[in-house]
Amino acid sequence: MSEQNKPLVGVIMGSSSDWDVMQHAVSMLKQFGVPFEAQVISAHRMPDEMFKYAETARARGLRAIIAGAGGAAHLPGMVAAKTIVPVLGVPVPSKYLRGEDSLLSIVQMPKGVPVSTFAIGEAGAANAALTAIAIIATTDDALASQLDAFRAQQTAAAQAMTLPVNE
């Protein structure tokens, strides 16, 4: 792999069943042309792989790790325990508690080992990717310009909104 294509963002999730949500992080990274890697790493079913992934993340050049999980969502916190690469946690909706369990599991990290926690579901996955992009953009002017343009598009779209009452 050339230096240019080396992944800068790691996208990991506890199960392939998380993909429906986590694909929104991946498509945002693709939209901005940010090199990434994506894989399933289950905290409770693949703990050794999880630690290895976290321990090697910084040396491999990752600038951010987006970690999605549902239920008793240990993955983001345990990855954060083993690396100083920023971990962006995405709560995946769960079958019985609609992802409120995932959200509380991820957001309530004790002081000292942070996990930046996002909204439950699709918006959280997309915003985690935008945050990873913003982190990289702190040292990448071209990417910063892309982010500015992305924001400007949203402003223009909101300004163009009309309401039936005014038509």
Query: Among residues 105 and 127, whose Cβ is nearest to ligand RP5?
Result: 105
Query: Closest separation between CB of residue 125 and ligand RP5, Å?
Result: 12
Query: Closest separation between CB of residue 23 and ligand RP5, Å?
Result: 14
* List of long-range contacts for 96-103, beta carbons under 8 Å, 24+ apart: 97/71, 99/70, 101/70, 101/71, 101/72, 101/73, 102/69, 102/70, 102/71, 102/73
Question: Could you say whether residue 42 binds ligand RP5 (CB under 6 A)?
Answer: yes
Distance CA 75, CA 16 (A): 14
Stretch that binds ligand RP5, among 9-17, 31-39, 79-87, 129-137 (CB under 6 A): 9-17
Query: Among residues 92 and 137, whose Cβ is nearest to ligand RP5?
Result: 92
Query: Among residues 18 and 28, whose Cβ is nearest to ligand RP5?
Result: 18
Among 17, 27, 56, 108, binds ligand RP5 (CB under 6 A): 17
Among 26, 57, 65, 69, binds ligand RP5 (CB under 6 A): 69
Residues 147 and 28 sit within 8 Å (Cβ to Cβ): no
Distance CA 114, CA 83 (A): 11
Q: Using alpha carbons only, what angle is made at residue 67 by residues 66 and 71, rounded to the nearest 5 degrees? A: 150
Question: Could you say whether residue 23 binds ligand RP5 (CB under 6 A)?
Answer: no
